[in-house]
Structure 1
């Protein structure tokens, strides 16, 4: 019987830390598994399951939410499908339920493609690709979006990985990230303002235990040092680092306590690089407009050290 997420693309590479291995799914190009030297670095889900909480999927042409699924284009309202019905939002883009086509598959890398066709709420034609490549000490993920329309297309990109460090309980991990601001949100998780982080409970610059956090929060002005935007550190010193290029200036931190891990219900932590803020189709915060025939590219990745 085939998996509900379609073909499972497995890539491997021999590294100084042992074998690196990742599994990427046909559906939504989800990063379903990733390990180095037998140490699991993302929250996996069963091959027989759908990605819980959007685990590992690509978010395009917007991450996070569009309020009421409605935005304005040249003075005319555009109505996207409402896909978060309890909050009446359109969430996580238009490729969440799309199967990606294989472009290239080598031992250590896979490139997949998916097209966003013109539709109600998004009258644009955009072809996207994502390439997962195992590198020494980690994983590099590269994205492109090419506008096939005859008008500039609004576009934003995100991804939704949940990280871990082997068998260390997630609550015992320390999350470190320096950001200038966070987005205050209403009960529908739509931003109502942007405020400074320094000196507040949302200041992660000195590191905080994940077990203390109850976040579903977007941050702006993320400080990137040597490519690293956020760190997740175990008590024994092992560390996962999320790297980003200059396009990923926002990060969502999500720490639900009801995630169906393979070991049972528990707390997890998502570190979600985003090129735009939540509700960007309405606020314009970070939103790109790709000209006809032009290409937008962005990259992020994961580093692991023992």
Structure 2
């Protein structure tokens, strides 16, 4: 890599019809996603530090891992603590590495990453991320192949921040968010402690977490996992984010998606507060390496596959 490149590495621009996107070499990050020239997700510059994981795949685990430690297949592992104020490891580490370009066309890009040999996660995985635009939006596919001799723990989430459509700053972002709405077919809210590590679940009935019908985000804060999803007959599950200007975006996951994390960023420092809402499709919610809830175990020679679509309605 030459030093005249942006800090996020090569910039892979793809387009199709009304859609365009830019994916970066660093972290296989979706830096820009636009429809008819307008931001669908909160955009970042090529040399911007990503403060809130905007556009990043979260692998090999999403969200928080308590104390950064876990047991798997009879062994104990310790990962670095990268959320020290809560004593957690958070959002995996695939976002910290430059990925390898495998294929680039006008409307699609595929990047790969070999998981480095490390004591906290010594599993031999090669991961492929493919971003494809067509008339139906942006399709993001992830395939994790286990080349090791034993099983490997795995979970995935994507971390899009959907733009609220207004040029707001500071507390005004929260005011705009209050006029956004969300619909998610989730029957269960995940309870969490002060470190945002799950402690149990509750039905969404009668709570501010009942998004089974479209609901305004006017009861902030939200930084919560919603599970017990109702999938359609074809195996997909769909959340819909609606902005004050009426733009609606569908977030469609395949049968591997078991939860959505919703974060409004309420109270975040102004300098890092994205002007939007994170609606994160997940194969497992926080601390899955410990609880084993919805944890995927990739067998030797096996593959974990997930496809997620962002579509402007």
User: TM (normalized to structure 2)?
Assistant: 0.90
Q: Could you report, residue by residue, the CA deviation over 1:229-268 in whole angstroms, capped at 9, with x for unpaired residues?
A: 2111234532101000000111100110356899x95652
C-alpha distance in structure 2 between counterparts of 1:232 and 1:244, whole Å: 14
Question: Aligned residue for 2:170?
Answer: none
Question: Aligned residue for 1:109?
Answer: 108
Unaligned runs of 5+ in 1: none
Contact 2:220 2:266 in 1 (8 A): no
- Tell me how far 1:96 sits from its aligned partner: 1.8
Change (3 A) 1:3 1:116: same
C-alpha distance in structure 2 between counterparts of 1:260 and 1:41, whole Å: 22
Question: Aligned residue for 1:121?
Answer: 120
C-alpha distance in structure 1 between counterparts of 2:299 and 2:252, whole Å: 27
C-alpha distance in structure 2 between counterparts of 1:187 and 1:67, whole Å: 12
Are 1:179 and 2:186 matched, yes or no? yes
Question: Aligned residue for 2:247?
Answer: 238
- Work out which of the residue numbers 201, 205, 220 in structure 1 matches 2:208: 201
Question: Aligned residue for 2:7?
Answer: 4
- Tell me how far 1:73 sits from its aligned partner: 2.6
Give the 5 Å matches for 1:1-306.
1-14=4-17, 19-164=18-163, 166-167=165-166, 169-225=176-232, 227-257=236-266, 265=273, 267-305=275-313
Unaligned runs of 5+ in 2: 168-175
Q: 69-78 vs 89-98, which deviates more?
A: 69-78
- Number of residue pairs matched? 300
Change (3 A) 1:275 1:140: same
Change (3 A) 1:49 1:126: same
Contact 2:188 2:226 in 1 (8 A): yes
SS state at 1:86 partner: helix
Q: Which has the higher strand share?
A: 1
Contact 1:61 1:93 in 2 (8 A): yes
Contact 2:222 2:266 in 1 (8 A): no
SS state at 2:199 partner: strand
- Tell me how far 1:2 sits from its aligned partner: 2.4
SS state at 2:195 partner: coil
Contact 2:161 2:274 in 1 (8 A): no
SS state at 2:262 partner: strand
CA RMSD of aligned residues (A): 2.0
C-alpha distance in structure 1 between counterparts of 2:135 and 2:268, whole Å: 30
C-alpha distance in structure 2 between counterparts of 1:191 and 1:236, whole Å: 35
- Tell me how far 1:22 sits from its aligned partner: 0.3
User: TM (normalized to structure 1)?
Assistant: 0.92
SS state at 1:217 partner: strand
Q: Could you report, residue by residue, the CA deviation over 1:172-206 in whole angstroms, capped at 9, with x for unpaired residues?
A: 22111121111111111100111111211111122
Contact 2:62 2:284 in 1 (8 A): yes
